[in-house]
């Protein structure tokens, strides 16, 4: 049985931890609102961009179409862009993304594909390097980034496009998390390159109202200019969804940790009181026994 001093120290320690987790929950809740607004605000733009790309891709799906649209014509080397958080203490958020990434790696490897991994976020690299360090070609950390914006997505997009132009891969997938609600974040994998495979055939197309458009310059040149922007848009949307999911998962995890700490404090206090009562009873028995012996 622990001594009174040990129990008192444990109560003090758990109480300090409870204060920290409660503060982290409040910080995550404050950041969640802003992150959720940013993620939801980016969705209409991404959907409209996908609709425009689908409309153009239909008219420019030929041998002269940009390679970012139609790909290399092969499917031998896959690049997986695994986007996770830069920090932990957010429940199973990073674990779920890493699990989906490992499943995709296993499936592609079993199909005879060569897999390369580009990690976005420190935790993505930490989760995959133990089993797949030979496949990781780089880790892009977001620790010093204060705001996720087009410039951040642009740097990542430029690196991916540069690797594609150098012949580093044939198909690129982005593995990230989709923000559903504060309590729910859904890991997902979406094709990025070739963009033709990423476009949902059921996506709503722009309503031309019977009009016929003539493109100047032609569709191929317009696509060549729009495709890099489309890639950066998809990456930015994935990063914003990740940030909202991370804050939601962190708020839920810190709330659970705070409740658990409170329950543990109650148990320790009960044990402390019982131990103190037992000690007092023992001392009284010793006093009475000594008095009777005299």
**Which residues are catalytic, by number?**
90
* C-alpha distances out from residue 97 to 73, 81, 83, 104, 214, Å: 29, 11, 8, 11, 43
Q: Phi/psi class of residue 218: alpha, beta or left (left: φ > 0; alpha: ψ in -120 to 50)?
A: beta
Identify the H or E element spanning 77.
Answer: strand 77-83
Q: What's the CA gap between 103 and 245, in Å, rounded?
A: 21
Q: What's the CA gap between 248 and 256, in Å, rounded?
A: 12
Q: What's the CA gap between 26 and 116, in Å, rounded?
A: 38
Helix axes 93-110, 122-132, angle to 10 degrees: 40
Q: How many helices (H) and strands (E) does the chain have?
A: 7, 5
CB-CB contact of 102 with 128 (8 Å): yes
What's the number of CA atoms in the CB half-sphere (13 Å) around residue 106?
8
Residue 49 per-residue DSSP state: H
**What SS3 state is found at 89?**
coil
């Amino acid at each position: 049985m622990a001594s009174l001093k040990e129990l008192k120290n444990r109560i003090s320690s758990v109480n300090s931890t409870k204060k920290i987790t409660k503060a982290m929950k409040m910080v995550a809740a404050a950041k969640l609102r802003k992150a959720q607004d940013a993620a939801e605000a980016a969705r209409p733009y991404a959907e409209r961009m996908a609709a425009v790309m689908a409309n153009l891709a239909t008219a420019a799906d030929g041998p002269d179409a940009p390679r970012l649209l139609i790909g290399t014509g092969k499917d031998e080397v896959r690049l997986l862009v695994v986007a996770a958080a830069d920090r932990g203490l957010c429940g199973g958020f990073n674990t779920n993304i890493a699990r989906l990434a490992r499943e995709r790696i296993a499936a592609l490897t079993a199909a005879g594909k060569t897999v390369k991994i580009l990690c976005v976020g420190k935790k993505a690299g930490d989760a995959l390097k133990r089993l797949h360090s030979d496949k990781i070609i780089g880790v892009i950390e977001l620790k010093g980034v204060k705001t996720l914006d087009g410039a951040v997505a642009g740097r990542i997009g430029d690196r991916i496009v540069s690797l594609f132009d150098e012949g580093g891969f044939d198909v690129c997938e982005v593995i990230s998390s989709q923000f559903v609600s504060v309590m729910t974040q859904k890991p997902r994998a979406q094709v990025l390159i070739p963009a033709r495979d990423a476009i949902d055939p059921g996506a709503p197309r722009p309503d031309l109202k019977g009009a016929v458009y003539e493109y100047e310059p032609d569709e191929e040149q317009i696509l060549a200019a729009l495709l890099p922007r489309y890639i950066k848009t998809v990456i930015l949307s994935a990063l914003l969804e990740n940030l909202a999911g991370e804050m939601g998962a962190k708020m839920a995890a810190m709330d659970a940790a705070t409740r658990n700490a409170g329950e543990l404090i109650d148990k320790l206090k009960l044990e402390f009181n019982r131990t103190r009562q037992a000690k007092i009873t023992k001392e009284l028995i010793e006093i009475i026994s000594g008095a009777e012996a005299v």
